[in-house]
Structure 1
Amino acid sequence: MEKIKLKDFLDFKFLSGIELSPDKKHAAFAVHTCDYNENKYISNIWIYDCLSEEYRKLTNMSKEKSFIWLDNDTILFPSLREEKLKKKIDDGEHWTVFYAINIHGGEAYEYMRVPMNVNEFKLIANEKFLITAEYNHYGINLHSIKSEDKEEAMSMIKENKDYEILDEIPFWSNGEGFTNKKRSRLYLYDKGTKDIIPISGKFENVSLSSVKDGKALYTAFSFTNKMELTNELYMYDLYSENATRLIEEGEMYIEYAEFMGDEIVFAASTIDKYGINQNLNFYILKNGEPVLLAEHDYGMFNSVGSDCRYGEGAGHRVLNDELYFISTENKSSFIKKLSLDGKIERITYDNGSVDCFDICNEGILFIGLRGTKLQEIYLYRNNLETQKTKFNEDIAEIKNVIKPEPLSFENDGIKIEGWVLKPADFDENKCYPGILDIHGGPKTVYGEIYYHEMQLWANEGYFVFFCNPRGSDGRGDEFADIRGKYGTIDYNDLMMFTDTVLKKYPQIDPCRIGVTGGSYGGFMTNWIIGHTDRFKCAVSQRSISNWLSKFGTTDIGYYFNSDQIQSTPWNNPEKMWFHSPLKYADKAVTPTLFIHSEEDYRCWLSEGLQMFTALKYHGVDARLCMFRGENHELSRSGKPKHRVKRLEEITNWFEKYLQ
């Protein structure tokens, strides 16, 4: 077997967005690959024939990753193929061009072009589409400007690029840049007349949930000064041309809503007991009021971590008046089913990760990771899972993928689950270095699926160990609730886990252990180096160092910090400082590499800079590698060359201090 190399992920195939045709005979999905030389991702739509079980590439322009079915034989997708239009967009115009293609053959043809940046699009009636698109209150929305005024408007657009106006929070968003008074607004687009009719208000941030029989459900955050944590639920009726508010702002946070038979069911949280990380429950609308339908004390998403995904897909579907959804329990994500009587039943049972799925009476097609394999398409039918594609089969066949060994322990009477990757060609008579890897979130989980960076380090001769401390997902609200406790019980879990690993695997040299993590894992890495000198080196990625500064500079700081640290800079600054790793930086002696992205507005660059400066000031070896043009998602969806450089920096740092 060949050892896994750092750049192997450049050859991986990432799958997303599986969607069955209306007649359920075919499924479309996107396949993404890295183009290292061009430093970008190549994306194309593929077709899976449910009868023959064959699959083939449908598009070839390498830019198609989102789509809808127009009918049983036709797919609609946005793409930018015209050079003249590319120039207009570069100059500041907004256009989204949609192409249609028959899945049985023929070239794609232009179907419609919308003079807006379209985010979501759904067919609601013949040649009528619901779209969400960017609306800029302080900007110039060209689609509403007369042609004779367009030249002047274009000049103003160029001039406005030199400054930003801020008069609300959040004023920027990770992956989106400055968002002040910019909204994802809901419109009705008529292909025949080319009319664009706004449905939602100017200050409503909309997410489109469900469309059925000329009606649509959507959620909206409405704000002009400060976005609150609760949103509104609306139903739009195409035929009456009215949008009716079903749930008012201030009652709950609503993740999504679906039509189930004649009922409206939605996943929501009252955020009253466990704060913003409180698990969602299911509600039904009765006489205009939300009524609890089913409690669900597990994550209602796939939160199983991996650095081998790109793109997204549906995490819930409705079939025969039943709602199917992805849920995380312990180390895995599964598909469950909700009935209108409030009963929740788990459908799939195999461990691993379900990333997205679609469903019909014949079974469930899903994209997932099973065992230590990379993403493939699976069919679940008659209580049996069958792999249907072999996009990444050669990786599992020729590469030395190491299976994680489970290792659990108890702390404060609570079981903590973890895993260990032994070094490649492990010899029990040899001594090895080790790496503790800490997940982000904190409300996510590690599982037993493929994680490239960890597999790389194990193949380079390291023990790699990782666990799900308190604060993680999959174990219910109480387990995930570490509000006001950051750096205390979770730190104890991680240190006891390290002790447990060292005891079980005496081949690990306790003087050659490193630690790394990103986001919350970066916070914990910063915390660890200020509270112990047991680690020979550390790598802190997209981290948090100062809860006081993060409160006022990041896209979620004003509500995440106050909720998770249970304080603000005004009502209890001492508590925010107590939980800030920067407070303890003068105690740190561990050589630390910091990885940060210039456009990471979730854990802003200033967080890494403060900790880096503190270590340098106190004479500790430190290095910071900053990536321009990247955000909080660098390790998962950053540009291919940047992902390679990031992993090289980390691996070289470990080699310098641990080998």
Structure 2
Amino acid sequence: MKWRETMGNIELKTWNDFTFLGNMKSNPSGSAYAYVRSTVDLAKDGYSHNIFVKTQEKDFQLTGFNKESSYIWLDDETILFTSSRDKEENALPSTDFFEISVHGGEGVKRFSLPLFVTRIDILEGGKFLISAISDVSHPNAHAYDDGKRGEVAKSIKEMSFVEELHEIPFVSNGSGSSDSKRNRLYLFEESSKKLTPLTSAHFQVMSIEVSEDKQQIFYTGVMFKDVAKLYNHVYKLDVNSLRSTKLTKGNKMRYGAIKLLEGKLVVMANDGKRIGLNQNSDVYLLDVNSGNLELWFKNDRSFYNSVGSDVRLLGSSTMQVYGDTLYCVITTCYHNQLLALRLHQEPEVVLSAGSIDGMAQLDGKLHLIALEDQKLQEIYEVNERKLIQLTKLNE
């Protein structure tokens, strides 16, 4: 049944009954994946988020505190997730991490970081790569003791009625105020609780990719004060020495998403000369040792999902590597296509769909969160260039 036939006329309360899907990720072996279901919570004027796990045998709920929307797989059977339990209002940001087995049981608190964490990646030897929001006015806030944190939080609260603008731009689409804020990288050593900044206070980190052996971190970003720059660079960080090297030199380019594919760094980038900020990226291969940048193929489509919709809530990665293939979502005209990229081969269009909002792999099969055939979000399996609907959460 199509959405209109199922739901009838659209009313204000119609959105209260939607189930939003997002943050879809496979476990390391591809034998299961997790995703988040979100629903409206009218009493709290917000949303409830819980993590679900899908295997070949079942699709089951893993968490139930209604606050779990961000997570990573630690291994095939364990998930590390964040939750805003027992948070004190008006305090400086902190993020609590809980560990839970997919076989059941309670989520157990593993550690807490004095940062607003946006991403976490597993490294070796009990280390984690942390991406977090940092304020250039307090670049060492992660090292403040409780007394100092309390003083700063009190000062921020007292000045909350006024907004001082120091930079251009000072607002980010979909994220609110970005003035004096940077996405910054840190190394966290769990045994010692040591937190080490890897990028400077004024450096804005954008895309991140960790090598398979966990020894190298690749990231794009730019250093700026007062006015953001139009161009950025690609960097390589050695996990052992903690030294960063700029891989792209002298190129005035806007580097976007990056993904490792069989030892090469696939880079979406453009020079902005033809259209400017909204120019679609071409696809390049970057040699991670020499820094040599080679055009793979030119492109006139956007390498992200730009299909407009009011029935999405959480994001999900729409660019993933499985085996020797990089799968990308591109937008063409009014719909999405799933593109398969393999080295030394022409790009292959795997399928066309209305809107592809996330992807994961389950036992060699691609599963997608998608909007298709005028329906709300559901999970589908890709089978011979067609979508097979697996869920009926919004019917």
Asked if TM exceeds 0.5, the reply is: yes
Aligned residue for 2:305? 302
One-letter identity of the residue aligned with 2:115: M
What is the CA–CA distance in structure 1 between the aligned matches of 2:150 and 2:274, rounded to whole Å?
A: 54
Aligned residue for 1:17? 23
One-letter identity of the residue aligned with 1:22: P
Q: Which runs of 5+ in 2 are unaligned?
A: none
Aligned residue for 1:311? 314
What is the CA–CA distance in structure 2 between the aligned matches of 1:96 and 1:32, rounded to whole Å?
A: 20
What is the CA–CA distance in structure 1 between the aligned matches of 2:238 and 2:271, rounded to whole Å?
A: 27
Q: Between Structure 1 and Structure 2, which shows a larger proportion of strand residues? A: 2
1:3 equivalent to 2:3? Answer no
One-letter identity of the residue aligned with 1:80: S
SS at match of 1:9: helix
Pick the aligned partner of 1:356 from 349, 355, 358. Answer: 358
**Displacement of 1:390 after TM fit?**
1.5
**Displacement of 1:109 after TM fit?**
0.6
1:144 equivalent to 2:146? Answer no
**Displacement of 1:250 after TM fit?**
5.9
Aligned residue for 1:386? 388
Give the conservation status (yes or no) of the 8 Å contact 2:32–2:362: no
**Displacement of 1:290 after TM fit?**
1.7
1:430-469 matches, cutoff 5 A: none
What is the CA–CA distance in structure 1 between the aligned matches of 2:291 and 2:362, rounded to whole Å?
A: 31
Pick the aligned partner of 1:34 from 29, 40, 45. Answer: 40
**Displacement of 1:345 after TM fit?**
0.8
What is the CA–CA distance in structure 2 between the aligned matches of 1:224 and 1:254, rounded to whole Å?
A: 19
What is the CA–CA distance in structure 1 between the aligned matches of 2:40 and 2:363, rounded to whole Å?
A: 36
What is the CA–CA distance in structure 1 between the aligned matches of 2:72 and 2:105, rounded to whole Å?
A: 18
Give the conservation status (yes or no) of the 8 Å contact 1:327–1:333: yes
1:330 equivalent to 2:333? Answer yes
Change beyond 3 A, Cα 1:146–1:65: closer
Give the conservation status (yes or no) of the 8 Å contact 2:139–2:201: no
One-letter identity of the residue aligned with 2:348: E
**Displacement of 1:160 after TM fit?**
4.4
What is the CA–CA distance in structure 1 between the aligned matches of 2:386 and 2:8, rounded to whole Å?
A: 32
1:169-184 matches, cutoff 5 A: 169-184=168-183
What is the CA–CA distance in structure 1 between the aligned matches of 2:251 and 2:154, rounded to whole Å?
A: 41
Q: Between Structure 1 and Structure 2, which shows a larger proportion of helix residues? A: 1
1:116-515 matches, cutoff 5 A: 116-139=115-138, 141-146=140-145, 149-212=148-211, 213-214=213-214, 215-248=216-249, 251-286=252-287, 287-341=290-344, 343-349=346-352, 351-359=353-361, 362-393=364-395
What is the CA–CA distance in structure 2 between the aligned matches of 1:147 and 1:31, rounded to whole Å?
A: 35
SS at match of 2:307: coil
Deviations 1:407-440 (A, max 9, x none): xxxxxxxxxxxxxxxxxxxxxxxxxxxxxxxxxx
What is the CA–CA distance in structure 2 between the aligned matches of 1:305 and 1:364, rounded to whole Å?
A: 24
Give the conservation status (yes or no) of the 8 Å contact 1:140–1:153: no
Change beyond 3 A, Cα 1:361–1:262: farther
Give the conservation status (yes or no) of the 8 Å contact 1:139–1:157: no
What is the CA–CA distance in structure 2 between the aligned matches of 1:249 and 1:46, rounded to whole Å?
A: 46
Deviations 1:377-420 (A, max 9, x none): 11113434211111112xxxxxxxxxxxxxxxxxxxxxxxxxxx
Pick the aligned partner of 2:49 from 25, 34, 43. Answer: 43
**Displacement of 1:141 after TM fit?**
4.5
1:612-627 matches, cutoff 5 A: none
What is the CA–CA distance in structure 1 between the aligned matches of 2:204 and 2:153, rounded to whole Å?
A: 25
Q: Which moved more, 1:190-199 or 1:138-147?
A: 138-147
1:517-528 matches, cutoff 5 A: none
What is the CA–CA distance in structure 1 between the aligned matches of 2:17 and 2:277, rounded to whole Å?
A: 38
**Displacement of 1:261 after TM fit?**
1.4
SS at match of 2:123: strand
What is the CA–CA distance in structure 1 between the aligned matches of 2:103 and 2:350, rounded to whole Å?
A: 33
**Displacement of 1:27 after TM fit?**
0.9
**Displacement of 1:207 after TM fit?**
2.4
Change beyond 3 A, Cα 1:150–1:325: closer
Change beyond 3 A, Cα 1:383–1:218: same
Give the conservation status (yes or no) of the 8 Å contact 1:294–1:342: no
Q: Which has the higher contact order (CA 8 A, sep 6+)?
A: 2
1:61 equivalent to 2:65? Answer yes
Aligned residue for 1:79? 83
What is the CA–CA distance in structure 1 between the aligned matches of 2:96 and 2:362, rounded to whole Å?
A: 31
What is the CA–CA distance in structure 2 between the aligned matches of 1:359 and 1:270, rounded to whole Å?
A: 34
What is the CA–CA distance in structure 2 between the aligned matches of 1:308 and 1:388, rounded to whole Å?
A: 19
After TM superposition, the score normalised by the length of structure 2 is 0.91
**Displacement of 1:315 after TM fit?**
1.0
Change beyond 3 A, Cα 1:229–1:256: same
**Displacement of 1:116 after TM fit?**
0.9
Higher CA-based Rg: 1
**Displacement of 1:330 after TM fit?**
2.4
What is the CA–CA distance in structure 2 between the aligned matches of 1:5 and 1:164, rounded to whole Å?
A: 38
One-letter identity of the residue aligned with 1:19: K
SS at match of 2:16: helix
What is the CA–CA distance in structure 2 between the aligned matches of 1:20 and 1:314, rounded to whole Å?
A: 11
Change beyond 3 A, Cα 1:166–1:55: same
**Displacement of 1:34 after TM fit?**
0.9
Q: Which runs of 5+ in 1 are unaligned?
A: 394-659
Aligned-residue RMSD, C-alpha:
2.1
Q: How many residues align?
A: 385
What is the CA–CA distance in structure 2 between the aligned matches of 1:23 and 1:342, rounded to whole Å?
A: 26
Change beyond 3 A, Cα 1:373–1:242: same
One-letter identity of the residue aligned with 2:278: N
One-letter identity of the residue aligned with 2:143: S
